Amino acid sequence: MFKIKFSREIDMLHGSLWDKIILFALPLSLTGVMQQLFNTADVAVLGQFVGKNAIAAVGNNVALVGLLVSLLMGLSLGANVVIAQFIGARKLTHVRDSVRTAFFLSIVMGLIICAAAEVLVNPVFELLKVPDAVAPMAETYLRIYALGLPFISIYNFEAAIFRSKGDTQTPLIALAAASVLNIALNLIFVIQFDTGINGVAWATTISNAVSAAILFYALLHSTGLVRLRLDKTSVDKSCLKEIVRIGLPAGIQGMVFSLSNLLIQAAINTLGPDAMAASAAAFTVEINVFCLTMGFGQAATTFVSQNYGAGNLPRCKQATWTALKINVILMLILSAAILYFGESLVRFFNEDAEVVRLGVIRLWYIIAPEIISVVMEIVSGALRGYGISLAPAIITLICVCGIRITWVFTVFREIPTYAALMTVYGVSWFVTMIFLILAYRHYVKNLKALEIN
């Protein structure tokens, strides 16, 4: 019988932190890049072989897709925290119960989000005032993409289960294989069969299913703590409640960013197809930069979770500070490189002069203040590791969403330029960062050791 031993774990409870955080975060960051490579491949193939209206169609869906996927990722992060805390506390029965519960929750939520996406297509497009030249392709892409949302849900929960024990390599391997498949299918469907945006959407859906299937096999054959056992089909209600308590606010926090991006996308749409295409191209670059921030943010979450479960509060604080320092240094280097090669990066997706000009503007207004986002992500991640998820969600809702809504209806209305619109990102990040730091100091000062029955 063909078998593979899956056992990759990091001891988060003992020894030095900086090397283990890097070992955890970099594969996780690369996993995020691989996830974005799906969208990158779509945009690149459409830009080179179909046209800028096709790029605009995909870009128009980024915010809505992000809204739906953010909820799934937030809930999966709840599973990560709960399982990691049980591992730290050495409650092995609880670990098994929470793994099984997380898996079944992934299936249910994936089906619900898939149905929601299909229902929301037309209302959202009317809200965004999508131009007639783009709307048919945008609708086609989104409806096909939505069919893959159950697989995206399952993959994210499966990946969260592996990460809870320090294994970020297995999810990366699964997604790398799926990404290669996605690129190959994109080229075959678009160039060989001339299926345009339909083929690109189907390629993404098929590849998402493959990544979920690989991790499903890996979980069934894992030799570690988080092996998935299907001999029991019951869901542990206490585990489910805790996953939702931590994960739902985290999902809402991600959705707030996506909701505000939907509003900004609607404003971008009023500036025409060139601005839409430029945003799609630049976003493809900047979201990959954010993957580095996300990787270290989730590292902070998982390291804090395990050590909090083990009752080691000083090590929790040390892990947070270490993750922040490393992330800041790496982000400064990466941001400088992106800004230096910005024009070439945008031109890779589309060579239209106006699209390139606007794309470079977006990169400067978003990549330059990215260091603020680093602080936000690490602080939020650490709070979630302690099980404090509602506070950062509320702060994000008020600061990010409130500022961006106000900006669009005041500043942008008076100065309806692309640059004026892009300025809102840095402003909203800065205000949110200040309040997150204040919340972190308040909660950490009053923390007590975690008690798990």
pLDDT single digits (tens) 131-158: 777 788 888 888 998 999 999 999 999 9
Which of 365, 193, 377 lies closest to 185 in space, CA to CA? 193
Whether 233 shows a pLDDT value over 70: the answer reads no
From the CA atom positions of the chain, what is the Rg in Å?
21
Judge contact between 79 and 163, C-beta under 8 A: no
Q: What 3-state class would DSSP assign to 6? A: strand
Residue type, 398: I
CA angle 325, 283, 279 (to 5 degrees): 140
pLDDT at 451: 58
Taking only the tens place, the pLDDT of each residue in 238-296 is: 999 999 999 999 888 888 777 787 788 889 988 988 898 888 888 888 888 888 999 99
- 382: confidence class by pLDDT, cuts 50, 70, 90: very high
Give the whole-angstrom CA distance, residue 37 versus residue 40. Answer: 5
- 7: confidence class by pLDDT, cuts 50, 70, 90: very low
Taking only the tens place, the pLDDT of each residue in 53-110 is: 777 777 777 767 877 888 898 899 999 999 999 998 888 888 899 999 999 999 999 9
Task: Give me the percent of the chain exceeding a pLDDT of 90.
Answer: 51
pLDDT at 196: 81
More confident residue, 191 or 403: 403
Give the whole-angstrom CA distance, residue 389 versus residue 123. Answer: 30
Taking only the tens place, the pLDDT of each residue in 20-42 is: 999 999 998 888 887 777 767 77
Q: Say which residue the tokens 């048919």 belong to.
A: 136
Give the whole-angstrom CA distance, residue 223 versus residue 303. Answer: 21
pLDDT at 229: 83
pLDDT at 66: 77
- 5: confidence class by pLDDT, cuts 50, 70, 90: very low
More confident residue, 447 or 451: 447
Phi-psi region of 207 (alpha: psi -120 to 50; beta: other; left: phi over 0): alpha
Taking only the tens place, the pLDDT of each residue in 204-220 is: 899 999 999 999 999 99
- 231: confidence class by pLDDT, cuts 50, 70, 90: confident
Kindly tell me the burial class for residue 310, based on how many C-beta atoms sit within 10 Å of its own C-beta (0-12, 13-18, 19 or more).
Answer: buried
Give the whole-angstrom CA distance, residue 224 versus residue 30. Answer: 23
Whether 422 shows a pLDDT value over 70: the answer reads yes
Burial 317-341 (b: 16+ CB within 10 A, else e): ebbbebbbebbeebbeebbeebbee
- 348: confidence class by pLDDT, cuts 50, 70, 90: confident
The pTM (predicted TM-score) of the whole model is 0.82
pLDDT at 452: 58
First to last CA, the chain: 40
For the chain, give the mean pLDDT. Answer: 87
- φ, ψ of residue 429 in degrees (nearest 5): -60, -45
Written as six digits, the tokens of 52 are 């800028």
Whether 4 shows a pLDDT value over 60: the answer reads no
Which of 127, 104, 122, 222 lies closest to 167 in space, CA to CA? 222
Which of 367, 360, 362 lies closest to 345 in space, CA to CA? 360
**Mean pLDDT calculated for residue range 376-388:** 94
- φ, ψ of residue 159 in degrees (nearest 5): -65, -40
Judge contact between 269 and 130, C-beta under 8 A: yes
